[in-house]
A and B are shown apart, each in its own frame.
Chain A
């Protein structure tokens, strides 16, 4: 295995981690606001806040990790993405900033402030939409390199069916992953009314998720035929993903093994995400950066990998500690601590 492959795999794992933990967080914000609007907030908001309070900052770091790592392993990406993503990137920063800070303001400061709740709910859907732009652009055809540097073609981006199907997929996946997790968490807390409510959300959002996945596939064939064909060659990976989807939905439907159901969701996205990633190669940003053209020098790659491994030795025990204290500590989950 060469360095660039190790590098992109590590980064992809982090992006996958972000996809899962951030989706839980983004979706929970939306559900909390939706529950408030439909006057059901007394049922689930306690549950949501008990989960989110200790972990929101950690979620953010997954994302920072990904883009700092991307600049480190593939400095050319900093140049092309930096040049082209100024506007969508800045909008994403603003949304992330509003979300993070107002979550803290609401949670530690003024409880149940309607405006804060609204911001928290709305940004939960807008952030995935704006961040997904980066993946859309990477397919090629949305930026051009001229004598005046690299520019994003806004008209093309905003009128492309592929771009909108990715946005749609991002938003529904967020709601699907989040409601699946909350179902598990509510069950763990032994909170029957909350469980009933979030289980309904989970079942509701499952079919749009699979429909959005299919439409994105079709749109991809229009946008980038080569990538589509490589994805078709990996059909079995996506097949396994659909299999896990069916397992997850079945378990939620029969109302048993919620923990396994969420694990199935994680595998569903793991396979889909890595299938997408693998078929995306060799391009990181078509046609400007490929895996081997964009990679940093060998010395830096080695030192980053060493730093990464050393860092994991520090982080994994700490993350386990955090999870044991808040996610899997039955008393904490039930609100007794």
Chain B
């Protein structure tokens, strides 16, 4: 067995909780947007298919949101339990957005409760739709506030540290630090994109398995178009994030791109391997593309890793995380674009099985990209927990029991994952859309299936 080290164990437990929570947090931010869009189209077009879509998505959403709430509570508490020294400092400077995040979430929780139980309580359905807006605002603002805290860990500002004493604190400067705009944009757009992609996956899969009805085809169109739009937003946000890194956190970009020497017209390295002398092999090199990615100019100078002291460099394997994240992002953009082309060109069939399989893959892939992206972001900040001020090893608990807690939480997340999947499967298997359409909207169900 390896030797117990509370820092390593704390990192492992935090990674475990975040990796699990981020799945549900992403769905929690993005799916309300999709529900709201579907309900709105249903009201405007007077088309019960879309209303049913919103209703069914909402029902599934309640399950994932429950897991999101409880794992969010877990990470909220674990921050103090596993990183007490860090939270002691962070509490002084960055607790404002943490506090506001709770408010935003409170707001969301209240309106989600109201939204869930009032589907048939209003004469004019637009009032029910209006209730979806505070849910979206609450969840997106939660994402905003919590992301500012992560941004702060990357580019801390708004305080002075003299020894262990913190002075001249400016909570707003800490919250709106240089990393905030691009990070928030990237987190929110990728959450919307991934949620739309997951719903597209489910729909494409049903069509592939049992040749979906008109209902499913409408759902596919809506989800794929939404994924396409949100992936353009995400690509833009990703590009801005790279430019941010080049300026404010060059060592993260340099480690992610295997860019060692500061130079002009830097090449972009895709995948490849690296040997112990930091020589890159088997990679695809795009001439000058890194300079363009970092500064929007093919001849710009990009800071290399050599300028960061050796003990402050992030590990080089994050290169793969970056490439996988970006690769998946462009794959999703490409597949959804292809669907649009097939749909608009009359001769081509947008329900081509190969295309549908492609769409069926984008949900799980996008979720993986979220995981890769967060690993890149978090490991890319190493060895710092608060860049330039506090190292991860200084922030961790000294408790000797983190290993057992790790086992405990593995068990918890396993149980939650199994429970969540079982309940979701049962929920939709026993009540397929066709049946529900018939029982809720018999007149629509009678005139359907012309294709």
Chain A residues touching B, range: 35 or more
Closest to B412 in A: A94
For the complex formed, measure the closest distance between the CB of A297 and the CB atoms of chain B, giving whole angstroms: 5
Of the listed stretches A53-61, A166-174, A210-218, chain B binds A53-61
B71 near A97 with CB under 8 A, answer yes
Residue A277 interfacial (CB < 8 Å): no
Please count the residue pairs between chain A and chain B whose beta carbons lie under 8 angstroms apart in the complex: 220
B109 near A61 with CB under 8 A, answer yes
For the complex formed, measure the closest distance between the CB of A112 and the CB atoms of chain B, giving whole angstroms: 13
* Chain B residues within 8 Å of A311, by CB: 100, 103, 106
What are the 10 tightest A-B residue pairs by CB atom distance, in nearest-first order? Answer: A75-B91, A82-B84, A72-B95, A104-B66, A109-B423, A149-B398, A97-B70, A82-B80, A78-B87, A311-B103
| Residue of B65, B83, B106 most packed against chain A (CB within 10 A) | B106
B98 near A105 with CB under 8 A, answer no
Q: List 29 A-B contacts (CB under 8 A).
A: A53-B113, A57-B66, A57-B69, A68-B95, A68-B99, A68-B102, A72-B96, A75-B91, A79-B87, A81-B84, A82-B87, A83-B398, A86-B401, A93-B74, A94-B408, A97-B71, A100-B73, A105-B419, A108-B59, A108-B62, A109-B422, A149-B398, A296-B91, A303-B172, A307-B103, A315-B107, A319-B110, A322-B110, A322-B114
Interface digits, B42-73 against A, CB 8 Å rule (1 contact, 0 not)? 00000000000000000100110111011111
For the complex, give the distance between the alpha carbons of A151 and B84 in Å.
12
Interface digits, A310-337 against B, CB 8 Å rule (1 contact, 0 not)? 0100110011011001100000000001
Q: Select which of A68, A300, A304, A308 is within 8 A of B76 by beta carbon.
A: A68
* Chain B residues within 8 Å of A78, by CB: 80, 84, 87-88, 91
Q: How many residues of B contact A (CB 8 A)?
A: 75
* Chain B residues within 8 Å of A299, by CB: 169-171
A-binding residues in B (CB < 8 A): 59, 62-63, 65-67, 69-74, 76-78, 80-85, 87-93, 95-96, 98-103, 105-107, 109-114, 116-118, 121, 134, 166-167, 169-172, 397-399, 401-402, 404-405, 408-409, 412, 415-416, 419-420, 422-424, 426-427
For the complex formed, measure the closest distance between the CB of A131 and the CB atoms of chain B, giving whole angstroms: 11
For the complex formed, measure the closest distance between the CB of B156 and the CB atoms of chain A, giving whole angstroms: 15
A83 near B84 with CB under 8 A, answer yes
Q: Which of A279-321 contact B (CB under 8 A)?
A: 296-297, 299-300, 303-304, 307-308, 311, 314-315, 318-319, 321
* Chain A residues within 8 Å of B401, by CB: 86-87
A61 near B397 with CB under 8 A, answer no
Residue A3 interfacial (CB < 8 Å): no
B-binding residues in A (CB < 8 A): 53-55, 57-58, 60-61, 63-65, 67-69, 71-76, 78-83, 85-87, 89-94, 96-98, 100-105, 108-110, 148-151, 296-297, 299-300, 303-304, 307-308, 311, 314-315, 318-319, 321-322, 325-326, 337
